[in-house]
């Protein structure tokens, strides 16, 4: 084979970001938007084409090239490859763009190997992600690789959760790109200075996550929305919220969302707002239209996504 394709999904973290870095559980789901890659055998040095630029794996002079070199180093040697990759997720948008790219690129290159290399794909995507995020929990690459709705811990990885009903979410963008690495470091410094805050935040978020998993399986969207709001309060107490995030959450709740919070690292990026289900297997949701209109009127963009029941 001389050419192979790879795909991966973006993600939303329903509850538990940041605490998951410290071993607590979190809930996440893959979304329809994601990343794609095409790997082609070539002569000369391996290179990655991304965002209209071509980067060589050696010498790797910037983060993306370093990440590409680390990713290739974790895969079986397939010789020099040229990889073209694209993502329809905004970088720094809290929707797992870098993890989706890492998994899609690793899948495309691994598909050129003579023997199946699925386990190596996980290691390769993790090596890619470490260049950008320093101490990633692994939840973003897990969501990129498996999609669906799941509970995740660093120690035990992912366990599927089957929502009783579809979960309808609006994803709103602050329009501000944020660095997961910087936000995770900010929380680490805060937790070092304030160990009591660390312990209470992590314990509180753990309880919310466990209750939210039950609410998702029971189809209790009102309960889930409340738990998301409480999670947002704890995240704000960890200084990862911003005025734009709070504004998006407030607008969504006023427009009928059952709960709203940061998704991902915060400091900018995106929020998610949980909507009342339309009922009767409808494929559109008027509550979503109201939330998106409220965001649009205030100068923010967003889109609607659905976490499918039973998947
Ligand atoms: C980023 O999507 C989620 C964080 O919890 C970081 C991580 O888990 O690696 C903030």
The string of pLDDT tens digits covering residues 158-200 is 999 999 999 999 999 999 999 999 999 999 999 999 999 999 9
List of domains in the chain: 3-157 (3.30.230.10), 163-307 (3.30.70.890)
**Average pLDDT of the chain, as a whole number:** 95
Residue 164, Cβ density class (10 Å: 0-12 exposed, 13-18 middle, ≥19 buried): middle
pLDDT along the chain (311 residues), means of 10: 94 98 97 96 95 84 91 96 95 93 97 89 95 91 96 97 96 95 96 97 98 98 98 98 98 98 97 91 87 98 93 69
31 backbone dihedrals φ, ψ, rounded to 5°? -120, 165
Give CA–CA dist 215/219, Å, rounded: 6
Tell which atom from ligand 1 comes closest to the C-alpha of 94: 2
Residue 105 near residue 85 (C-beta atoms within 8 A): yes
153 lines ligand 1 (CB under 6 A): no
Binding site membership of 264 for ligand 1 (Cβ less than 6 Å): yes
R_g (Cα) of the chain, nearest Å: 19
**The pLDDT of residue 233:** 98
CA angle, 152 then 154 then 158, to 5°: 30
Ligand 1 atom with the smallest distance to the CA of 266 is 10
Cα 71 to middle of ligand 1, angstroms: 20
Residue 147: per-residue pLDDT: 93
**What pLDDT shows up at residue 227?**
98
Residues 198 and 129: their CA atoms lie apart, in Å, by 25
Distance 210 CA to ligand 1 centre (A): 18
């Amino acid at each position: 084979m001389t050419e192979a394709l790879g795909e991966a999904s973006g993600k939303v973290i329903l509850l538990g970001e940041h605490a998951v870095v410290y071993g607590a559980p979190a809930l996440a789901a893959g979304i329809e938007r994601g990343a794609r890659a095409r790997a082609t055998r070539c002569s000369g040095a391996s290179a990655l084409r991304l965002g209209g630029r071509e980067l060589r794996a050696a010498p790797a002079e910037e983060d993306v090239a370093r990440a590409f070199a680390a990713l290739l180093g974790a895969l079986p040697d397939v010789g020099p490859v040229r990889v073209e990759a694209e993502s329809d997720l905004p970088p720094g948008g809290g929707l797992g763009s870098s993890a989706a790219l890492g998994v899609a690129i690793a899948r495309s290159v691994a598909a050129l190997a003579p023997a199946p290399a699925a386990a190596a794909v996980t290691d390769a995507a993790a090596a890619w992600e470490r260049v950008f995020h320093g101490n990633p929990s692994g939840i973003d690459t897990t969501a990129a690789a498996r999609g669906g709705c799941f509970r995740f811990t660093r120690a035990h990885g992912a366990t599927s959760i089957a929502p009783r009903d579809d979960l309808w979410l609006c994803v709103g963008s602050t329009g501000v790109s944020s660095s997961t690495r910087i936000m995770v470091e900010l929380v680490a410094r805060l937790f070092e200075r304030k160990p009591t805050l660390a312990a209470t935040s992590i314990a509180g978020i753990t309880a919310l996550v466990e209750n939210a998993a039950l609410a998702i399986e029971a189809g209790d969207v009102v309960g889930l929305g409340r738990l998301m709001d409480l999670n947002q309060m704890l995240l704000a107490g960890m200084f990862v919220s911003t005025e734009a995030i709070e504004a998006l959450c407030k607008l969504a709740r006023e427009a009928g969302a059952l709960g709203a919070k940061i998704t991902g690292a915060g400091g900018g990026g995106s929020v998610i707002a949980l909507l009342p289900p339309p009922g009767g297997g409808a494929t559109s949701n008027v509550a979503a239209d109201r939330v998106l209109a409220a965001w649009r009127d205030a100068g923010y963009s967003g889109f609607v996504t659905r976490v499918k029941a039973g998947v």
